[in-house]
Amino acid sequence: MSYEHILVAVDLTEECDPVIKRARELSVSSQAKLSLVHIVEPMAMAFGGDVPMDLSQLQQQQFDQAKERLDRLIAKYPELSKDHCHLTYGQPRQEIHHLAKEQQCDLIVVGSHGRHGLALLLGSTANDVLHGAPCDVLAVHLIKRPS
Distance of alpha carbon 68 from alpha carbon 64, whole angstroms: 6
Distance of alpha carbon 107 from alpha carbon 21, whole angstroms: 15
Query: Is the CB of 37 or the CB of 85 nearer to ligand AMP?
Result: 37
Q: Binding of ligand AMP at residue 80 (CB under 6 A)?
A: no
Query: Is the CB of 11 or the CB of 136 nearer to ligand AMP?
Result: 11
Q: Which stretch binds ligand AMP (CB under 6 A): 48-56, 71-79, 105-113, 130-138?
A: 105-113
Name residues whose C-beta falls within 8 Å of residue 43's C-beta, 6 or more positions apart in sequence: 51, 55, 58, 59, 62
What SS3 class is residue 89?
Answer: strand
Q: Binding of ligand AMP at residue 126 (CB under 6 A)?
A: yes
Q: Binding of ligand AMP at residue 107 (CB under 6 A)?
A: no
Footprint of ligand AMP (CB under 6 A): 9-11, 15, 19, 37-39, 92, 110-111, 113, 124-126
